[in-house]
Amino acid sequence: MVAALGAEARRALDAYLAYALPHWPEMPRIVEHVAQHHPKSLRLKELFETVECFRIVGRFLHERKRLHGLDSIADLACGHGLLGVLLAYRFQDVSVECVDLEPRQ
């Protein structure tokens, strides 16, 4: 869990987020807020996987929006929903729907 990281690992995570998401310098503070207020909700492995997926999908959707427009995004089988949250944060003028059959514990 991100909440269980020590100071050195947390600094490394912040450096990774700054590298991976250079246009969102607020992201380390957001991750810290989630880790503090929901310590059992943010798994490190899922955070890394989601950020990498977000980088790829975000570039694709940005280009799609530029060329053809973009009204909505559907995140099907969204699991924890973090990808959908990040996409909604990036594309604030687009409707984002996150759907999963299993509720997250």
Whether 48 and 87 map to the same domain: the answer is: yes
Whether 36 and 52 map to the same domain: the answer is: no
Whether 20 and 35 map to the same domain: the answer is: yes
* Residue 77 falls in which region: left (phi positive, over 0), alpha (psi -120 to 50) or beta: left
Which segments of 21-81 does DSSP mark as H helices, in order?
27-37, 44-68
Could you tell me the pLDDT band of residue 102, with boundaries at 50, 70 and 90?
A: confident
Whether 30 and 55 map to the same domain: the answer is: no
Are the beta carbons of 83 and 54 closer than 8 angstroms?
A: yes
Distance CA 89, CA 50 (A): 14
The reported pLDDT for the residue numbered 68 is: 97
Could you tell me the pLDDT band of residue 105, with boundaries at 50, 70 and 90?
A: low
Overall domain count for the chain: 2
The reported pLDDT for the residue numbered 1 is: 95
Whether 56 and 37 map to the same domain: the answer is: no
pLDDT digits (tens, 9 = 90+) for 26-81: 999 999 999 999 999 899 999 999 999 999 999 999 999 999 999 999 999 999 89
Whether 30 and 71 map to the same domain: the answer is: no
Residue with the larger pLDDT of the pair 103 and 40: 40
Distance CA 101, CA 59 (A): 27
Whether 80 and 29 map to the same domain: the answer is: no
Q: Mean pLDDT for the chain?
A: 95
Range of the domain at 66: 44-105
Whether 61 and 99 map to the same domain: the answer is: yes
